[in-house]
């Protein structure tokens, strides 16, 4: 069972387990340190460290959690915080990642970091509060950046009610203005439309993801 039943999620296929794209052939969204996928961009490669000697997707908790990796398939047992063994078959182990972020969430705090390399470095720092604070490359029009001394406010899960390769419909409830974040690649030709039918700007968040302003 995923962390958010009825919602999209991803499975991290660790090296030396299943053949790349095996899960995708069965309709399961797959993450891999080596495989291509249907919405493959250089920013995604850099975020997961696909071309690095040690990919962040395999070693950095924030990376896999932001990528909505609800489950991991591993070739052997291992212990890590937030990981629960839920199944074993034919020499493979299935773990649930209890710390994975949902596919969509409302955040209430952010910092502005225009330098993409600095953004990536910050997100990989163990001390960075990625569960409460986004990194945007520009300020929002109606919500000021968060003071560095502010107490953290954790995200509120949102609900993806429709999803396809070219369409996402998301519902949320929030009692204050915030930022609706989607664990999908940012690309400038995407368009966002609010409940009134108005087009709203899409911001690049946490190096490779999409975000829009979210009114209370």
pLDDT at position 37, please?
A: 66
pLDDT of residue 111: 97
Residue 180 has pLDDT above 90, yes or no: yes
The radius of gyration of the chain from alpha carbons, rounded to an integer in Å, stands at 17
- Indicate if the pLDDT at residue 34 is higher than 90: no
Per-residue pLDDT tens over the stretch 54-68: 999 999 999 999 999
Asked whether residue 78 carries a pLDDT value surpassing 90, the answer given is no
Ramachandran area for residue 207 (φ above 0: left; ψ -120 to 50: alpha; else beta)? left
Q: What is the pTM of this model?
A: 0.95
Residue range 12-25: average pLDDT? Answer: 91
Per-residue tokens: 193: 């439309």
| pLDDT-based confidence at residue 141 (cuts at 50, 70, 90) | confident
Task: Determine the Cα–Cα distance for residues 140 and 203; give it in Å rounded to an integer.
Answer: 8
Percent of the chain that is helix, strand, coil (3-state, to 5): 15, 30, 55
H helix or E strand, kind and range, residue 168: strand 167-171
Q: Which helix (H) or strand (E) holds 42?
A: helix 42-48
Tell me the C-alpha to C-alpha distance, in Å, between residue 42 and each of 14, 37, 39. 21, 12, 10
């Amino acid at each position: 069972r995923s962390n958010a039943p009825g919602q999209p999620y991803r499975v991290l296929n660790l090296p030396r387990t299943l053949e790349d794209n095996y899960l995708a052939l069965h309709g399961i969204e797959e993450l891999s340190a080596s495989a291509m996928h249907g919405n493959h961009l250089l920013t995604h490669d850099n975020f997961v460290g696909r071309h690095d000697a040690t990919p962040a997707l395999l070693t950095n908790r924030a990376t896999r959690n932001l990528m909505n990796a609800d489950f991991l398939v591993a070739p052997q047992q291992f212990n890590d915080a937030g990981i629960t063994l839920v199944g074993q078959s034919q020499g493979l182990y299935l773990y649930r990642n209890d710390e994975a972020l949902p596919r969509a969430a409302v955040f209430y705090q952010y910092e502005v970091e225009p330098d993409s390399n600095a953004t990536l470095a910050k997100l990989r720092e163990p001390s960075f509060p990625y569960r409460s604070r986004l990194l945007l490359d520009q300020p929002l029009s109606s919500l000021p950046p968060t003071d560095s001394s502010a107490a953290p406010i954790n995200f509120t899960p949102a609900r993806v009610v429709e999803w396809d390769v070219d369409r996402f419909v998301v519902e949320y409830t929030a009692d204050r203005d915030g930022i609706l974040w989607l664990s999908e690649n940012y690309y400038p030709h995407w368009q966002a439309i609010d409940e009134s039918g108005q087009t709203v700007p899409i911001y690049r968040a946490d190096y490779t993801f999409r975000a829009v302003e979210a009114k209370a």
